[in-house]
Amino acid sequence: MTGLRIALALLIAAVLAAAGLGEGAAGQRFRTAYGIRLGVCDWTIAKTGDPAALELAAKLGLDGVQVSLVPKGDTLALADPALRQTFIEAAVRARIPIASFAIGDLNNVPLKSDPRAETWLAKGIDVAAAMKVKIILVPFFGQGELRNDPKGVDAVVAALKRLAPRAEERGVVLALESYLSAGDTLKILERVGSPAVQVYYDVANSQDMGYAILDEIRELGPRIVEVHAKDTKDLYGKGSMDFPAVREALEAIGYKGWFVIEGTKMPLGVEESVRHDADYLRMVFGIWKP
């Protein structure tokens, strides 16, 4: 992206804001000409499953938080109505929403082989519906890895087919994130055959696997329901990720969802790193901050 295009994007966003367009004080805090909002994973800011993540994210200039659904025995901590209310109140105070949920423990308790994973996901669907959060990230890393594991893929497809009707009924989407290529991921979605099972795309994970991420984004198209912003090499704008090109690919598929920051880089501390990355993404995506 040229400097002129970035400046124009910022100008457009500012004009929209001045005209009073966009969400109110209880909703979107930042406005963009491209419909992108910036979030951060609660584990990235060292607040896994902690309602304090919302206040810290707001302090760092983010627009929302991806919150961890932390298992508690056979259920989830957020199955407790009192804890759910604590999160809701924290979101209201911080004036930012929960962008999505994630169950990171599925990397160690895989959906393909451990019955607890399906139980947690079923409960997660209920929690998400109760809190009006539309997306749950379902990861397949670590022990949950699906590459070169056709039996594991079969087991995951079977589990998702059982979970999908519950998710459809409650208006929740299970978003799959893995090291699989776009083509292999689409095969899983086709086998499950439910609008409640879609894709969570992580640009850096896919780039590190050697995939052509700009082509993959276009191939997956509307199946992408949320995106992780990440650069495994350095701070944003200084590493290997071409975020302006990513923006253009997301525009090409009409993506207007969350771009969620995951991971920080040394030698900066967590807060400095997240601030830097958020500021860079605002510039790239033309996000105006009031």
Per-residue pLDDT of 118-161, as tens digits, reads 999 999 999 999 999 999 999 999 999 999 999 999 999 999 99
pTM of the model: 0.89
Range of the structural domain that residue 101 is part of: 3-288
- Give the pLDDT of residue 287: 79
- Give the pLDDT of residue 14: 37
Taking residues 32-53, report their average pLDDT: 90
What's the domain count of the chain?
Answer: 1
Question: Any idea what DSSP says for residue 109?
Answer: S
Q: What is the pLDDT of residues 82-93, one digit of tens each?
A: 999 999 999 999
- Give the pLDDT of residue 289: 60
**What is the CATH classification number for the domain harbouring 93?**
3.20.20.150
Question: What does the mean pLDDT of the chain come to?
Answer: 89
Residue 2 predicted with pLDDT over 50 = no
Phi-psi region of 48 (alpha: psi -120 to 50; beta: other; left: phi over 0): beta
Residue 41 predicted with pLDDT over 90 = yes
DSSP per-residue letters across 64-101: EEEEE--EETTEEGGGSHHHHHHHHHHHHHHT--EEEE
Q: What percent of the chain has pLDDT over 70?
A: 87
Letter for the amino acid at 96? I
Q: What percent of the chain has pLDDT over 90?
A: 84
Taking residues 26-41, report their average pLDDT: 67
- The Cα–Cα gap between 154 and 213 comes to 26
- Give the pLDDT of residue 34: 58
